[in-house]
Amino acid sequence: ILDVSLESVSKEVEKEEGKRKNPVSVTQKNVIKDNASILEQYFLALLLQSQNEKELLLLVQKLFENVPLPTPSLEKLFLHLKEYCALHDKFDHKSFVSTLAEELVPVFDTCFLYPIQEFSEEGIKKELLIVAKDLQVRSIKNALQNISREIVALEKDGKENEAEEKKTQYVFLTKLL
């Protein structure tokens, strides 16, 4: 026999029922955002885990000249990787990590330890190009959506000159698709 009052059991049951009534719902937008983030991590993992980081970076960096990666921390890591490769002839992971800001080290660790299959050199180039192009299209579409919202807001506020500048950006990005 337990030495617990009926009131305490009732209160605990009510708490549990309250938790179940308000389930956490996952929206489609969150799932898409997570998928995009996973794709970005995979992209950087392919770069960081390859044997020819610098060569592969030169192969894909043109795709992201005008469009940033959607996740800011991954974009910062990618930019830092480009800067590092421009300054150094050979890529050294330890040296690269030592140049990163403290907040980017966990991001690097996640990408560097991201599980990927083993590829031949030609295979990793093909995979990286496929992922990079997919990521570029996603990034452009995301940027176009943001610019569209900005144009509508600017036109509502009567800022026609700024809206025209945004429309020019919009046209430029659509040509990249």
Instruction: Give dist(CA 171, CA 175) in Å, integer.
Output: 6
Residue 21 pLDDT? 56
Q: Which of 18-32, 59-73, 143-157 has the lowest mean pLDDT?
A: 18-32
Instruction: Give dist(CA 170, CA 64) in Å, integer.
Output: 16
Residue 160 pLDDT? 85
Per the document, the length of the chain is 177
CA–CA–CA angle 31, 36, 37 (5° rounding): 95
The number of CA neighbours under 13 Å toward the Cβ of 98 is 5
- Give the position of tokens 């299209």: 137
Instruction: Give dist(CA 142, CA 174) in Å, integer.
Output: 11
Instruction: Give dist(CA 112, CA 47) in Å, integer.
Output: 9
Q: Mean pLDDT throughout 131-151?
A: 89
pTM: 0.71
